[in-house]
Each structure stands twice: as C-alpha cells, then as structure tokens.
Amino acid sequence: MLRAAICSGALLLALLPHPLQADMVRVAVASNFAPTLKALAADFTAQTGHRISPASGSTGRHYAQIVNGAPYELFLAADRLRPTRLEAEGFGVPASRRTYARGRLVLWAPDLPASYSLDQALAASTGQRLAIANARLAPYGSSALAWLGSKSADVESTYRLVRGDNVAQAFQFIASGNAELGLVAHSQMLLSLEPLAGLQRLIPATDHQPIEQQLLLLRETPAARALYHYLLSARVQGRLDEFGYDQPHVESR
C-alpha cells in the first residue's frame, strides 16, 4: 500500500505545471539593459517558473560570440544592426527580431552644478576627460560620438576621450573619477545603487541618432520563448520609462 501511494505521488508530481519543468534561459544582454533585466528577473520567474542566466557586454562583442557558436538562446542588443545581420546570416529563429526598447543618453558630470545646461557643461569641461562607450562595439558609443560631433568640429582635440568597451565601463570611469564627465545610458542613472551627484542632463532624443534596441530569439526553447514574450508584453513595455527607456514608437523590421 505504501508503494502504491509513493507511485501515485510520483505520478501526481510528474503532472504538475511549470515549476518542475522550469529551465534556465541564457541571454546575451547589452550592458545598458543588464540592470533592467536583473530588476525584472524575479517577476519573470514568478510568472513563468523559468530563470535567467545573463551575460552582459557590448553588443559588438556579443555578435562576434554568437557567430562563433556561443550557446545563448536570446540576444538583447543595444541596436538593430547586429540582430539584423545575424538574421540575414541565418542565425536565430526566423521572424523573431523585434524592437524591445529605445535607449536614451545622459550627460553626467559629478563635479558640475546640477543647474548647468548641456552647453554650459560642455563649455566648462573643455580639455577634461570625457567617457563614452567604444563606438565600434557599442551603439551608445556611436550615438554619443555623433552627438558630440554636432557640438564640436573636432571632438578629439576638444575633449580627452576615454573609451570603455561598453557603456557600463564608461559609467564606471566617471563613477571612479577616471573621467570628469561622460555620456552614459539613462537606465544606468536611474538604476544606480549609489546616489549620483552633480549634473545629470538627458540628451533630447531628437538630438542624437535613435538607439533602437532589438532582440533576436537564437534558439527555440520554452524558457527563451517565455522571456521573449515577457519582454514584449504590456506588463514590461508599460514600465520602460521607469527603467530609463522609451517604448518603440513603430515596430520596424
């Protein structure tokens, strides 16, 4: 009788929903979105039973890793260029590329008065170290460089540019005092664990090239598909401004 009860219990457990079938989804995530993904992780697990294993880095480096066989299931890029290339090169699940957020740039200068305008901040910072992400690897870097170019005919001589591999490293350069100011992601400012002093000026979205962040489903697994739908859901999209992003205005492919 005890054996029958044990067998019945085992059968019942086998029929239970997702907690016993929960899986891990391996995500290549752009460094700007990594804190947001971390903030959403517990809610995602509560909703689906699945867990997230993130690898944070520059979009360019993630692209190279994926092409060379890195075993990610989902790619959260900081641009549309690399997901588009991967799709064209036969990587990823067909028709799964979507825009999940639009990034925003912030000028951060910890030692400048918070009341300064953008132009005042740039004028006061001539010759100082200015941190940006590497434009070859990180979309936030290319947008930052383009915006600086609209303000100065010779950016390299006006500022002592300090380039991080990604926008997270650019942020650390400023936070550690290795750069006096820099252009970083709005999401980093909002989700920082430490109080941030000084000037924090949001760059108007119309003043720099759009930072259209796209995702691509690389492998079809239940956990990856669940996270894919979760990030595009109204539940998450309605909170994007809370994390320093704009919602996609028009779905582009």
109 and 203 fall within a common domain = yes
251 found inside a domain? no
126 lies in the same domain as 190: yes
In a domain, 146, yes or no: yes
The enclosing H or E element of 24 equals: strand 24-30
DSSP secondary structure letter of residue 153: S
Query: Does 133 lie in the same domain as 69?
Result: no
Same domain, 55 and 113: no
Residues 125 and 94 in one domain: no
Residue 94 lies in domain: 22-102+211-243
Residues in the chain with pLDDT < 50?
A: 1-20, 250-253
Number of domains in the chain: 2
Packed helices 167-175 and 139-151: angle between N→C axes, nearest 10 degrees: 60
Q: How many CA atoms lie within 13 Å of 191's alpha carbon, on the beta-carbon side?
A: 23
What's residue 201's pLDDT?
A: 97
> pLDDT digit string (tens) for 207-232?
888 899 999 999 999 999 999 999 99
Quick check: is 160 in a domain? Answer: yes
Quick check: is 87 in a domain?
A: yes
* Judgement on whether residues 139 and 46 belong to the same structural domain of the protein: no
Q: Are 144 and 133 in contact (CB under 8 A)?
A: yes
pLDDT single digits (tens) 148-196: 999 988 998 899 999 999 999 999 999 999 999 999 999 999 999 889 9
Is residue 173 included in any domain, yes or no? Answer: yes
The CATH number assigned to the domain holding 27 equals 3.40.190.10
Domain assignment present for residue 57? The answer is: yes
185 plus 108 within the same structural domain: yes
Q: Are 203 and 130 part of one and the same domain? A: yes
Is the domain of 121 the same as that of 203? yes
Three-state secondary structure of 42-62: HHHHHHHCCEEEEEEECHHHH
Q: From the CA atom positions of the chain, what is the Rg in Å?
A: 21
Task: State whether 119 and 197 are in the same domain.
Answer: yes
Token pair in block for residue 144: 């930052």
Give the Å distances, CA to CA, from 6 to 13, 14, 16.
11, 12, 16
| pTM of structure | 0.85
Q: Are residues 142 and 199 in the same domain?
A: yes
Has residue 181 been placed in a domain? yes
The verdict on residue 6 lying in a domain is no
